Amino acid sequence: DLLGCAVAAAVSASFNAPIAGAIFAQEVVLRHFALRSFAPIAIASVAGTVINRLHYGDITEFHLRDGGGLSFYGELPAFLLLGTISGLVAVALMRAVLRADDLGDRIQSATGIPRWLRPTLAGALLGAIAIPFPHIIGVGYETTSAALTGRIGLGAAIVYTVVKIIAVAITMGGRMGGGMFSPALVVGSLTGLAFGIIATGFAPAVSGGATIYALAGMGAVAAAVFGAPISTTLIVFELTGDWETGIAVMTAVSISTALASRLVERSFFLTQLARRGIQLAAGPQVYLGTTIRLAEILRSMEHPAAAPEDACRAMMERGLVLGEVQVLETALRLFEETGADFIPVTRPGDGGAPVLAGAVFQTDVLRAYARALAETAAEEHR
């Protein structure tokens, strides 16, 4: 909950959008909308906006150009097409980052370079790219603001989009730190602006301003990368106060997220967690089995209902044994394969050789799993 509060306050302060900040925290961070967590997150989101307004006034990180209204019904097909393009751009951004990380791992493993040298080399490469393209350095809010106000031309928008994706891939693949929030906004706004310049040029009589497409592109790419279509659309509503623009953005967001989810299956954040063995996307029934260690549920040999020691040692000789640092998921899989009622569990001895610590029983494993599922369900529905 505290992590969700921090995210809500940061988003609401940055965009002057307390409603979207609260929804973003629950949609992306907590991944549920329990009433118990909504109150502190909503308070944190409002507090972030209030503090930001007291310090900076009623301003946002991004300033939108006035005018250039939307020809609502005539331009909706264009926003559908923008959603498709934005979804493909979001997929390209995510795949570029993930493949750059894999490439960096392979190079580091093959060459044996020290860990500290990897970000050093990536920084040198990034610096070389930044000499002709200084806009890729930093958070990128200046570039995003320039795109949202139409101060970038068509050619520059396309080039900056490609270069920014490459720069983000180098940064993340080189383990230089940083995140994907701001890069997704930059890439999305540039993509939308480039599309808007082309679209309004084809049909100027029925088109609004190109900057509306920049706003929609920013939302569509960000929603696909973060897996947050609801809060991304709400941010636009709060930024513009215009329901027609909001619905147009929602149209682009819905297409981009649907397309990206088909091509990459899950958002960038969930993919990162999955690559670290945390399967949040599959639901609690999957990842809960990796959070409980067997040491927490095993019956020691001194337990009144302990497993027979002779039977345990016979199973150990056959290789049917688990370690106390292993997790519930491993035990569940082994019980399913063997049909055993219990499995011996070992721990490292003084000399390094494993010693018998006790045994885990199938009934205890299933009981612990059911208890964890029940606690998670209760947390999400309070």
Residue predicted with more confidence, 204 or 323: 323
- Residue 283 phi, psi (nearest 5): 100, 170
pLDDT tens column, 163-178: 999 999 999 999 887 7
Residue predicted with more confidence, 129 or 248: 129
- Residue 361 phi, psi (nearest 5): -100, 145
* Beta strands at 342-348 and 299-300: parallel, antiparallel or unpaired: unpaired
> Phi-psi region for residue 242, left (φ > 0), alpha (ψ -120 to 50) or beta?
beta
pLDDT tens column, 47-58: 999 998 888 776
The predicted pLDDT at position 35 comes to: 77
Tell me the average pLDDT across 104-109. Answer: 91
Tell me the average pLDDT across 62-85. Answer: 74
The predicted pLDDT at position 328 comes to: 87
Positions of E strands within the chain = 299-300, 322-323, 342-348, 354-361
pLDDT tens column, 285-297: 666 777 888 989 9
Burial pattern 272-282, b for ≥16 Cβ within 10 A else e, equals bbbeeeebebe
Q: How confident is the model at residue 59 (pLDDT cuts 50, 70, 90)?
A: low
Distance CA 276, CA 179 (A): 16
Q: State yes or no: pLDDT of 66 exceeds 60.
A: no
Distance CA 169, CA 92 (A): 10
The predicted pLDDT at position 72 comes to: 58
Q: State yes or no: pLDDT of 258 exceeds 90.
A: yes
The predicted pLDDT at position 282 comes to: 57
pTM: 0.78
The predicted pLDDT at position 137 comes to: 82
Structure tokens at 18: 């307390």
- State the chain's mean pLDDT as an integer: 86
The predicted pLDDT at position 284 comes to: 62
The SS3 of residue 62 is coil
